[in-house]
Each structure stands twice: as structure tokens, then as C-alpha cells.
Chains A and B, each alone.
Chain A
Amino acid sequence: MVTLVYFVMYIGMLILISLIDMFIWKQSFFQVIIRLFTLDEGTNEWFVSGTAFIGLICSIVIDYRLRKNKGQKQL
């Protein structure tokens, strides 16, 4: 469930940001999305992408533990 929330928020934020970028830069949606997704080499963008990935892993782990706890309680 946390993973689902993670994906919903991730995609939602991405869409929101790209909508605003579309408004500001007057570009099409795909151009903006491509620009957002490309990891420019030479910048340190991979720091945050990496952190976001860690967040994803965390949410999977949390989900796993939640399910385990639930199972235990039911037993």
C-alpha cells in the first residue's frame, strides 16, 4: 500500500511539475516529460534520483513488514 502511495505521489508530482513547465515554457507534454526524466550527466541530479530510489526501496520494505505484522496478528 505504501508502495502504491509512493507511485501515486511520484507520478502525480511529476505530472504537476510538467504541467507547470508546460505553462511556463510553452512546450508539449512529452517534451517536458523527456526533459524531466533525462538524467543530465555532469549535474548532480543522480543524488536526488538515488535518494528517491532509496525511498522506493524503503516503501517496499515497509509494505513487507506491514503485511508480516498483519499476518502475525491474524494468526
Chain B
Amino acid sequence: MKQQKLMEKLSLWQLAVLLFTFEIGSVAVVGVGNDSRQDAWIAVAISTLLGAGIVSFYIMLLKRAPGKNLFELMTISFGKWLGKGIGLLYVFYFFYIAERVLRDFCELITTVIFENTPIEIISITMMGVIAYMIYLGLEVFGRTGEIFIPYVFTFTILIGFATFFSGEMDFKNLLPVMAEGIGPIIQHIFPRLLTFPYGELITFMVIIPYVTQFKKVGKVSVITVLVSGMIIIYGTVIEIATLGTEQLGRTVFPLLSAARDISLLEFIERVDLVVVFIVMFGIITKVSVFFFAGLKGLEHITNIPYRYMVLPMATIISYGTILISDNFAEHVEEGIRFIPQYMHVPFQLILPALFAPLLFWRTKNQKKGSGHHESK
């Protein structure tokens, strides 16, 4: 029972680390897509700016009621019952995306490394690790991130340099710039790129209230989003320059395929496991964040401390990971045709936009009071 009384606190640096790995995790597995061909990096650049805008919008909402997370905000703006109902929808959404992200990773592992190991085992073991980490609390999660971030960051940077010095990069592949005009880029950005790495940051609306220095959160998260956007651009340029647009369209795991070409001095070769490491940590972070956000939602709805629900919910997620799709093609098709339009856009953009005015109206008086309080 003592564990309940542990304060859940994150430092600013830990928040930045989590945001960063969250952003680059999934992108490192499945890439940003090939919709805008050689201009993908431009699309990423634009959507990074838009993503920074989205994040500041989320943080603006959080600032209206400091210390309250997404679910509590919804209860404030929609009232107790409607707020909890929409909160439950969000819980489903978070858990579902957690399952999808975990599935991405499991597919990578079963395709590339463990060909004979059943995918179910990988999903169960990964979920076991994540459940344990979440059970120990947000602090442990943050510190895990702190430990791993130097490796993740340097490895990501080094992969680019190594492919470059292996002579595998051909920057001509980036030409012609915007051959078919801005049209394909915009189609790529909305809804896919905007929602996939950036809009998903709505989960951080559950985590950010636990950051100690709440005032600086806005600045830190925007900067982190821009930095991670830079890394994603970097990765995209590596992928396009190394593989070329044709091959990029055919490959399933682009960064991995690019890293397979590395051959430095006939000595540093076969480093694609490094990519798997980056991916593994990115995925653990991402699934954990979604999982934690969903659990917090359940905690808010049922008033039971979330730690009691970690294990049962983890088993549901590992179950759903397998169930969501029969094969890889279905998984990818869902990711392109269904998830962005019918799940990401409503939950990341429409619902927040809906409750924002309500929230402003409800907190109008409180804000004055709290502002007064702060000035003391």
C-alpha cells in the first residue's frame, strides 16, 4: 500500500527524453511513408512546424487547469458523466494505438531476427517488461529513458554518418524537388504525417501534469518536438538518399534496410541490429506512454489506483496485439486507410477542439482565482 503514496514526478529533462524517443520510435520502424516520394522530407519539415503548433495547443489547454490531466480536463468541461464517457473512449483509443505500435515492433522482430519464434511470445514478453516498468511508476519510466537516451541519440546520428561514408548515399535521389507541385506533399501531411508522429502527442496531456516545473513545460516540449522533427527529417533523408524512392516504396522497414547497406572499411558491417535497438527502446517508450495514459484514464473513471489494473490490462493489450490483424498487409492497410481518418483525427484534433471552448468557459472564474493565487 505504500506504493500508492509515491509521488509521481518527472523532471523537465525526463519529459524531453520521453517526448524525443516517443517521436522517433515508430518512425524508425515503419518510416514516414512514401506518399510524397522524394519530397517526404519537406512534408516532414512542414508537419514538424504544425506539430509544434499542436503541442502548444495541448499545453495551452493544460495550463487552464494546472495539475489536471486530459481526463480531468474533460470532466471539467463536459461534466461528470459525459466527461467520463468520452474519457472511456480515449482509453480505448490509447489502448488500441498501444496495440498497433507493439504490433509494428513484433512484426519487425519476427521478420528480421527471430524467424521461428511465435509473434505471440514477443508481444507477451515485451508487454511484461512494459507492465513492470509502469507498475513501478512514472519516475522509473523517466529514469529508464534518461539512461538509454545517449545511446539512442548517438546511434541514430551514427547510422547516417556510417551510410554516408560507406558511399551508399546518393543525394541525387532527392531530386527533382517538388516535381509535381505541393499537392502530394499536402496530401501526405494531412492526415497521415500530422497525426502519426505529432498528433499522437495528445497522450502527453496525461503525463505533462506530473512534471515538476510546470511553467517551463511549454517551451521544453516545443523545442523537443522541433529537435525530434529534425532527427526525423535526418532519418528520412538517409532513407531516401540510400534506398531511392523506388526501393523505399517496396521496403517494409526503411531505416533497417538503409542500415543494412552500411559497410565501413570492411570492418563495421551488419549493424542493422543497432536499428533494432533504437526501435526497441522507442517502442517501449511509446507503448508505455499510451498504456500509462490509458491506465490513468481508467483510474480517473473508476477511482481505483492504476497499479491494480496494470497486469490485467497488459494481458489485454498483448491479446489485442495479435488480434488486431491477421496478416501484415491488413495491418498496414488499417494504418493507412482507417486509423488516420477515423481514429487519429477525431481523437487528436476534433475532440480537443470541441472541449477547448467549454474548458475556457468553465475555467474562466477559476483562472482569475488561481492567477491571483500565483501572484501572491
Contact = CB atoms under 8 A, between A and B. Distances in A.
Direct contact of A and B (CB under 8 A): yes
Interface of A: 1-2, 5-6, 8-10, 12-14, 16-17, 20, 23-25, 36, 44-45, 47-49, 51-52, 54-56, 58-59, 62, 66, 69
Nearest to B315: A55
A2 to B, nearest CB: 6
Interface string B109-126: 000000000111101100
Contact of A47 (B121, B308, B320): B121
A23 B92 contact: no
Contacts of A9: 91-92, 95, 298, 313, 316
B124 A47 contact: yes
Interface in B84-129: 88, 91-92, 95-96, 99, 118-121, 123-124
Contacts of B320: 13, 17
Interface stretch (B9-17, B25-33, B144-152, B332-340): B332-340
Contacts of B322: 45, 48
Nearest to A56: B312
Given A13-B316, A36-B323, 16 more contacts: A5-B304, A5-B313, A24-B337, A44-B118, A44-B120, A48-B322, A48-B323, A51-B319, A52-B315, A52-B319, A55-B312, A55-B316, A56-B312, A56-B315, A58-B315, A66-B304
Contacts of A6: 312-313, 316
Contact of A51 (B119, B124, B333, B337): B124
A52 B323 CA distance: 12
B293 to A, nearest CB: 14
B246 interface: no
B311 A58 contact: yes
A48 B315 CA distance: 8
Contacts of B91: 9
Nearest to A57: B312
Given A2-B308, A59-B312, A24 B318 contact: no
B67 to A, nearest CB: 25
A66 B322 CA distance: 31
B312 A44 contact: no
Contacts of B312: 2, 5-6, 55-56, 58-59, 62
Nearest to A59: B312
Q: A-B pairs with the 6 shortest C-beta distances?
A: A55-B315, A44-B118, A47-B120, A59-B312, A52-B319, A55-B312
Interface in B329-353: 330, 333-334, 337-338, 342
Interface string B289-315: 000000000100010100011011111
B121 A44 contact: yes
A5 B121 contact: no
Interface of B: 1, 88, 91-92, 95-96, 99, 118-121, 123-124, 298, 302, 304, 308-309, 311-316, 318-324, 330, 333-334, 337-338, 342
B319 to A, nearest CB: 4
Counting chain A CB atoms within 10 Å of each CB, the highest count among B321, B323, B337 belongs to: B323
A24 B335 CA distance: 11
Contacts of B95: 9, 13
19 contacts: A1-B302, A2-B309, A6-B316, A9-B92, A16-B96, A17-B320, A17-B324, A24-B334, A24-B337, A25-B330, A44-B120, A44-B121, A51-B124, A51-B319, A55-B312, A55-B315, A56-B315, A59-B312, A62-B312
Counting chain A CB atoms within 10 Å of each CB, the highest count among B309, B319, B322, B342 belongs to: B319
B85 to A, nearest CB: 12
Given A17-B324, A55-B314, A55-B316, A45 B120 contact: yes
A57 B92 CA distance: 22
A43 B95 CA distance: 24
A40 to B, nearest CB: 10
Contacts of A23: 338, 342
